[in-house]
Amino acid sequence: MVRYVLKRLVWLIFTLWLICSLVFFLSKAVPGTCLDWQLGEFGQTINSTKITTGQSGNKPVIPLFYFSVHSRAVPDTLYRMQPEQHQQFFKNLILLSGNRAAVQAFYQTIINLQKSAAQLPNLTLSEKQQLRYQLELIFALADKTQLEQALLRIKNQVSTRSYPVSYREKVTLAQQQCQAIFKKKQILNVLMPAVTWYGFTNEYHIWFTNFIQGNLGTSCLNQDPVNEVIAEAFANTFVITVLSLGLIFILASELSIWLSNARRAKWKQTILSLLYALDSVPLFIVALILITLFASNSYFNIFPAFGSAPDSVPGVPAYLTWVYQLPYLALPVISLTLSGLPYVTGQTYQAIQQLLSREFVLVAKAKGLPEQLVLRRHVWRNALLTLITLFTGFLPVIITGAVIIENIFAIPGMGRLLYHTILARDFPVLIGIVLYLGLIKILAHVLADILYYLADPRIKVPA
Amino acid sequence: MNVIADNSRRKKAGKWRWTERLAGGYLLLFLIVAFMLPFTGMVQHPYENLNPGPISQPPFIFSSGLGSNNSSIYWLGTDGTGQDVLANLIYGARTALIVSVPAMVLATIIGVGLGCLAGFWGNSGLRVLVVNLVINVILLLVGLYYIIYIRQVHWLNAFKVGSSKVLLESGIALLTLFSLGVLGWLLAKFFKNFGFKKQITLPIDHVVLRLIEVVGAIPRLLLVMCLVAFVQPSLINVIFLAAFTYWTGIARLVRAELLQIKELPYIEAARVAGMSDVRILLKQALPNALPPVIVAVAFGLGSLISLEATLSYLGIGIPLEEASWGKIIKGILQNSDAWWLVVFPTLTLCFTVLSLQIVAERILKEITPTRQDF
C-alpha cells in the first residue's frame, strides 16, 4: 500500500515537473518580456510607479538552457543581443543567407543610422523620432524584397529633405550591404548543425533550483512573490470547492437512494430526464441565470451579486466573520453544485441499480429487513466505491468550475487570478497556479486510494 | 467467433422514438442554418452590420422600426449595440461548428491512432530491430532540425503571406521527411546485412498511458486557458489546442476496447490464417472497437461547443470579430432585464448538446443492437 502510493506520488511529481518546465519554455518562446506585455496591453492603466524599468536592463543576460543546437552560421553568443527582436532579425537573416559577416555589417550600419539620427541638425524632434521608428521597423522584416523596399523608402525620405551627405551615404551603404547578404550565400554553412554547451549559469537551471526549493519567483505585474499571491487567492477557492464538493456528494447519494426506492417509480423518470437536461447546460449559464434571478434588481434581490464580505466587521469577534461570507458564497456554491449534480447522481444511481440485483441484497431482503435499511446499510456501502472513484475524477471539474464561477461572481480566488494572469501574460504566476492545481489533483488521487482501502479492506491495491 | 455470431442475428433496433426524431431533425436544421444561411446573404454578420437597429429591443415586437429607414424585423430582439440576436445566433452556430467539428476530427484521429498502438500491440507486441530504431530516431531529429529550425524564417513568412506559401513549405517538409525515410530504410538494410540483428520490444502502452497522464494532469479548461496565453486569439489556434486536450478520452476508450477484442478467438483465427498485424487491426479489430468511440465523439462535440461558448464568454482565445453564443449571453451583464439575451442562446446551446447525445445513443443502438443492454 505505502509502496504503491509512494510510487504513484513520485511519478505524478515527475509529471508535474514536466508540465511546469513546458510552461516555462513556452513562456520563454513567447516574444517579448513581462515588461513588454504589460506596456503593450495595459499601457494606460498600469500603475507606472511599480514598474522598475531600469532593473531589467541591468540584469546580466544568460542563456536559456544548458546547451543549444543551432546552425553553424549562427553565433553561439546570439542570446546576448538585446532587444529580443534584433536577435530574431539577426538569426533570420543568417539562416536565409549563411553569410554571417555580411549580416553583421548590415546590422551594424542600421544601428549606426539609428544612433546618428539623434544628432542630425535641421530636424525637429518628431521627425527624428519618426526616422528612428522607421529604422526600427526594419528589424521586423525578414524578406529580401520587403527589406529593399523599406530601405528605398528611407532613402527617398533622406534625399528629399536636407539631410547631411554623410548620412545619405550611410543609407546607400546599407542598401549595398543588404544586397550583398543575398548575393553571397553560404548555404552549406547554414545546413551544418553545431552544439554549444553553456554550463550551469542558465535561466532554466536557476529557475529549476528555485522551483525545487519552493521559490517560484515574483509576479511580473507587481513584483509580489508568487507563493504569496497564490496563497491569498487559494483560501477563497478552497472554501467554495470543499463546500460544493461536499454538497454534490451528499445530495447525489441521498437523491440516488431516494430514487432507488421502489415506490417512487412515477417520479423517477421525470427527475432523471430533468437531470439529463441539466447536464447539458454549461456552468456559466447556470451561474448567470442564478445571478439574474436572485441578485439583480429586476427579479428577486436576495443575495449580493459580486465580491466578498469585508475581512473585519466592527463589533463582531474575528472567528465569526466567516458567517458574513456565507451570503456571498451561496450563489457560487449553488451553481457549482447544480452543474455537478447530474453527472454524479447518474453514476451513483446506476451503481445502485446494478448492486440491487446482487445476491446479498436478496439475502438482506429475505431476512425481512425494511427496504430503507437495505438500501442505506447494504447497498450504499458498496456504492461508496463508485463515489470515491468519482471523487477523484470530479475534482478537476470542480476546479475548472471554480475558474468560471469566480469570474462571474468576482470572487478573488485562484480562478480569477488565473484569468487575470492569462490576460496580463504573467507567466511566473501561471506556472505557480499550474503547479498547485496539479498538486491538488495528485493529493486527491492519493486520498482516493486511501479511501478505497478504508471503504473496502478486501481491495488489494496493485503494487 | 461470438461477435460474428452476434452480428448475424442482428435484430432491428426498433423505431425512432419521438425524442430521437426531434433531436435528429433539430441537428439537421442546425447544420442547414449554420452552413447555408450565411451564404444566402439574408442575414448580415452581426459585427459587419453598419446600420444597427434599436438598442435592447425585446423579442416578438413586429412593428418594423418606426421613424427609421431600417425596416427589418427583430424576431428575437436586439442586444446592447442594436444587433439582431437571431443573426448573432446563426453566425454563432457557424462559429461553434467551425471550432468543434475540426477539433473533434483531429482529436479522434490522434486518439484512435495512439489508442490502437497502445491497445493492440501493448507493451510486448511490437518488436523492432535496434539498428532500425536508432537510425530512425537520429534521422527524425535531423529532419526536425532541417524542417523546423533551418526553415523557420520561411515558415513565418509563409504564414504571413498565405495559403500557397504554406502549402509549398509543407511540401518541402514532406519531401525532406520522405527522402530521410528512404535513406533510413537503405541504411537499416545495409546494417542488417552486417549482422546487426538484435531486437527489442517497444513499451508503447506505457508511453501512451504516460502521455495521457501528462496531458490529464491539469484540468481541461485550465490547460486550454493556459495555452491560450501563449498564442494569438484565433479560431485555428483554439481548434488545435482543443484537439490537443481532447484526444486523451478517445485514446483511452480505444485502448480499453482493443485490449478486450484482441483476446477474442476470431483475432487468433485471423492470426493463424496468416494475416499481418496491421491488416488484422484495420480489418478485424478496429471496426468492432469503433461504436463506443462514436458516442464519445458526439459527447465530445457537445462539450467542445460548450467550451467554445465558455471561452468566448470569458473573452479568451476566440477573436473579437467572431460572433458566438457566449458573447450574446455576456450581454446580460450590462442589462439584467434583457432576458432574451440569455434564454435564446442557452436554449440553442442546450438543445444542440442534448440532441447530439440523444442521436449518438441512437446511432450506437443502430450499429450494435446487442450492446444496448448496458
Place of cell 538585446: A82
Residue A220 lies in a domain: no
Interface confidence, given as ipTM, is 0.76
Q: Do the chains contact at B219 and A26, CB–CB below 8 Å?
A: no
Residue A101 lies in a domain: yes
Does A402 lie in the same domain as A282? yes
Query: What pLDDT is recorded for position A47?
Result: 39
Q: Do the chains contact at B230 and A282, CB–CB below 8 Å?
A: no
Tell which residue, B129, B144, B141, has the closest CA to residue B187: B129
Query: What pLDDT is recorded for position A306?
Result: 66
Cis preceding linkage at B265, omega within 30: no
What is the C-alpha to C-alpha distance for residues B15 and A356, in angstroms, rounded to an integer?
30
Does A303 lie in the same domain as A182? no
What is the C-alpha to C-alpha distance for residues B330 and A148, in angstroms, rounded to an integer?
47
Q: Which residue has the higher pLDDT, B62 or A430?
A: A430
What is the C-alpha to C-alpha distance for residues A333 and A330, in angstroms, rounded to an integer?
5
Does A231 lie in the same domain as A175? no
Does A183 lie in the same domain as A85? yes
Residue B158 forms contact with A (CB below 8 Å): no
- Mutate which: A41, A237, A288, A303, vs B, most B CBs within 10 A: A288
CATH value at residue A439: 1.10.3720.10
- Please list every residue in chain B whose beta carbon sits closer than 8 Å to the beta carbon of residue A11: 213
Residue A463 lies in a domain: no
Residue A283 forms contact with B (CB below 8 Å): yes
Nearest to A280 among B220, B314, B353 (CB): B353
- Mutate which: A422, A423, A436, A437, vs B, most B CBs within 10 A: A422
Does A373 lie in the same domain as A266? yes
- Please list every residue in chain A whose beta carbon sits closer than 8 Å to the beta carbon of residue B302: 280
Choose the weakest-confidence range: A10-19, A370-379, A450-459, B336-345: A450-459
Residue span of the structural domain in which A110 resides = 72-193
Q: Do the chains contact at A15 and B214, CB–CB below 8 Å?
A: yes
Residue B314 forms contact with A (CB below 8 Å): yes
Query: What pLDDT is recorded for position B7?
Result: 46
Report the chain A residue with the minimal C-alpha distance to residue B217.
Answer: A438
pLDDT values of chain B reduced to their tens digit, one per residue, 374 residues: 344 444 444 445 567 788 888 888 998 988 888 888 777 766 667 766 666 667 777 776 665 545 444 556 677 777 777 778 888 888 889 889 999 999 999 999 999 999 999 988 888 878 888 888 899 999 999 999 999 888 888 888 877 776 688 889 889 999 999 999 999 999 988 888 887 778 888 888 988 988 888 887 777 888 888 777 777 788 888 888 899 889 998 999 999 999 888 888 888 888 888 888 888 888 888 888 888 888 889 989 999 999 999 999 888 888 888 888 988 888 888 877 788 888 889 899 988 988 998 888 888 887 775 544 43
- Beta-carbon contacts of A159 under 8 Å, excluding residues fewer than 6 positions away, are A168
Choose the weakest-confidence range: A211-215, A248-252, A376-380: A376-380
> How many domains does one find in chain A?
2
Place of cell 425596416: B71
Are A444 and A392 a contacting pair, CB within 8 Å?
yes
Query: What pLDDT is recorded for position A399?
Result: 79
Interface of B with A in 278-307 (CB under 8 A): 302, 306
Residue A12 lies in a domain: no
Task: Give chain B's domains with CATH numbers.
Answer: 18-52+74-125+204-373 (1.10.3720.10), 127-201 (no CATH)
Buried/exposed code over B94-130 (b: 16+ C-beta within 10 A; e: otherwise):
bbbbbbbebbbebbbebbbebbbbbbbbbeebbeebe
pLDDT at A52 over 60: no
What is the C-alpha to C-alpha distance for residues B206 and B208, in angstroms, rounded to an integer?
6
Residue A251 lies in a domain: yes
Q: Do the chains contact at A423 and B316, CB–CB below 8 Å?
A: yes
Residue A48 lies in a domain: no
Query: What pLDDT is recorded for position A49?
Result: 38
- For the entire predicted model, the pTM comes to 0.79
Residue B342 forms contact with A (CB below 8 Å): yes
Are A32 and A84 a contacting pair, CB within 8 Å?
yes
Residue A306 lies in a domain: yes
Query: What pLDDT is recorded for position B139?
Result: 94
Query: What pLDDT is recorded for position B112?
Result: 94
Domain end position, chosen among A193, A211, A241? A193
Residue B128 forms contact with A (CB below 8 Å): no
pLDDT tens digits for range A343-370: 889 888 888 888 888 888 888 888 888 8
Query: Given pLDDT bands bounded at 50, 70 and 90, which one contains residue A319?
Result: low
Domain end position, chosen among A152, A175, A193? A193
Residue A297 lies in a domain: yes
Does A240 lie in the same domain as A162? no
Does A243 lie in the same domain as A307? yes
Query: What pLDDT is recorded for position B177?
Result: 93
Query: What pLDDT is recorded for position B141?
Result: 92
Query: What pLDDT is recorded for position A369?
Result: 86
Query: What pLDDT is recorded for position B2?
Result: 44
